Structure 1
Amino acid sequence: MVLLSFNITDSDLFLDNKLKIGPEKLLEVIMKNTARLLRVLEHHDVPATFFIASHLVPELEILTKEVYSKGHEIALYHNGNWGDTEKALQLVVKFIGKSAKGIRVFDHFSAKEISTHKFYYVSPVEKMKLTYLFKRLSRKTSIYTDTDVEVIPESIAPITQFPYNETIFQYLPMKYYENMVFETLKSSEYVLVYLNMLQFTDFSYHKIHIPFFRRYNTGLKMEEKLDGLLTWINDNDVATSTMKDFVM
């Protein structure tokens, strides 16, 4: 099972620093990128989970409704402020009539806190830095329960020990990446892939300056890579699911 997910944030690709653009431009970029991704997902009939940064939810009512209307899952991306997250939870219910069941956090989290806010599952991910681009990980990769919360760890390729994070997808050749997925599914019940919505930005078109090493393979090239992965998934009859449907 492949669990495809996207982080909708205002942070850059590696260092978790906010891009130096105004709020209106940021929303424009997010909306355009999401519209393109929804078309790709619809073309391949693949569901995905969209983790929206809690503090951005108030500005993304239209996007939230559009993503949900296409059959995808709405979840929250925790920004470290539980006040923002609680407000976002209420807004998601207002926007789509259903509560967000999942939350994505960085490595260290309190399952008790997450349970208190009525989340069913948590997706902990490692804060990625450029120096960790090909960091080899070794930790638990199976779903487990902690304080009534289902914990869905990051997937790790068995041979390379690479995670399936946004930077690995951006830099690895697609054939190599597909082989990683194939090998992982031999021994794991799922592969959790997560990408950052900002990676699909045409930075030149939007006149947003970022260093070359972060711009590499972004924009249309990322969209083409995703299209290639989804084609491979369907051609090989690999099952896909939203994270909520997988664990509930």
Structure 2
Amino acid sequence: MTFNIAISENRILKNKNISETELITSIEEKTETILLLLDLHEFQATFFIEISVAERLQKLIKEISFYGHEIALYNINSTPENIEKTKQNLEQFLEKPVRGLRQKEHQFSYPQIQKMEFKYVSEIKESIINFLWRKLTSTTTIHIENDVNVIPESQSPYSQLPFNDYVLQVIPMKYYENMLLESLKNNDYVMIYANVWQLFNSSELPFKLPFYKKINNGRKFEDRLEQLFQFIDENEIAVARMKDYLF
């Protein structure tokens, strides 16, 4: 179970008058909702913090860590130097190692990731509207490259749908639940991920999103998470942080 704490990839603010403080506060508030849901169900998860906002989210990061969740980094467009610096600062701040990096597929090479001293990389693809036509083209099995554990995005072998943020947001929950159960019959794990910004209602979104990513966001998405968590409980599916599953 993983969550991205990031500003939308296009990084275009809907309201140019919103201050940096207001943006950070709104991200903190939505993350609190996720933390409460996880605590209610006694789940532990991994939170991937976007590198460009990590320094400004130290209070929230401390709280996430206090709840027992794992802190990892999410790279959208940072340089290796910036990633290494942020990783080092976070480790000093938390007094814990930061083992994981999430990136869009093959953004940095595995030797580069190893050099930055990450133990695993979570590779995800762009969640765009054409996901319905995506077919399995690469392995979804965890493998090791240059001493780095590579965790590809999970994908259902039956529906061919990826377990990405957009699929969780838009398809009927019963279908998603069946997809999860069927996938777990043939796979040891399914990696699920969502974004904190998906909990924003369309009217309160601080940044612009394409129309198709506004479907079922806000309170509807919060209800979806709660329904998914209840389903996981009822079916006694184990939930773990990335580091616990890997190491």
TM-score category of the 2 structures, normalised to the smaller one: over 0.9
Letter of the 1:85 counterpart: I
Please give the root-mean-square deviation of Cα atoms over the aligned residues, in Å.
1.6
1:18 alignment partner in structure 2: 11
Alignment of 1:23-42 (within 5 A): 23-42=20-39
Determine what percentage of the aligned residue pairs are the same residue: 37
TM-score normalised by the chain length of structure 1: 0.92
2:170 alignment partner in structure 1: 171
- Alignment of 1:49 with 2:46, yes or no, is yes
- Alignment of 1:71 with 2:64, yes or no, is no
2:149 alignment partner in structure 1: 150
Q: Distance in 2 between matches of 1:5 and 1:208?
A: 22
Alignment of 1:1-12 (within 5 A): 4-11=1-8
Cα offset for 1:158? Answer: 1.1
Letter of the 1:118 counterpart: E
Superimposed CA distance per residue, residues 22-74 of structure 1 (whole angstroms, 9 cap, x where no aligned partner)? 42332122101101110000001111110001111110100110000001010
Count of aligned pairs between the two proteins: 241
Q: Distance in 1 between matches of 2:132 and 2:214?
A: 15
Q: Distance in 2 between matches of 1:139 and 1:182?
A: 21
1:136 alignment partner in structure 2: 135
Instruction: Mark the runs of 5 or more structure 2 residues left unpaired by the alignment.
Output: none
CA contact (8 A) 2:72 2:99 kept: yes
Superimposed CA distance per residue, residues 70-124 of structure 1 (whole angstroms, 9 cap, x where no aligned partner)? 0101000013321221121122112211121000011113110111111000001
Structure 1 range deviating more: 176-185 or 24-33? 24-33
Q: Distance in 2 between matches of 1:160 and 1:116?
A: 37
Q: Distance in 1 between matches of 2:217 and 2:40?
A: 21
- Alignment of 1:127 with 2:120, yes or no, is no
Cα offset for 1:134? Answer: 5.2
Cα offset for 1:209? Answer: 5.9
Letter of the 2:118 counterpart: F
Instruction: Mark the runs of 5 or more structure 1 residues left unpaired by the alignment.
Output: none
CA contact (8 A) 2:70 2:241 kept: yes
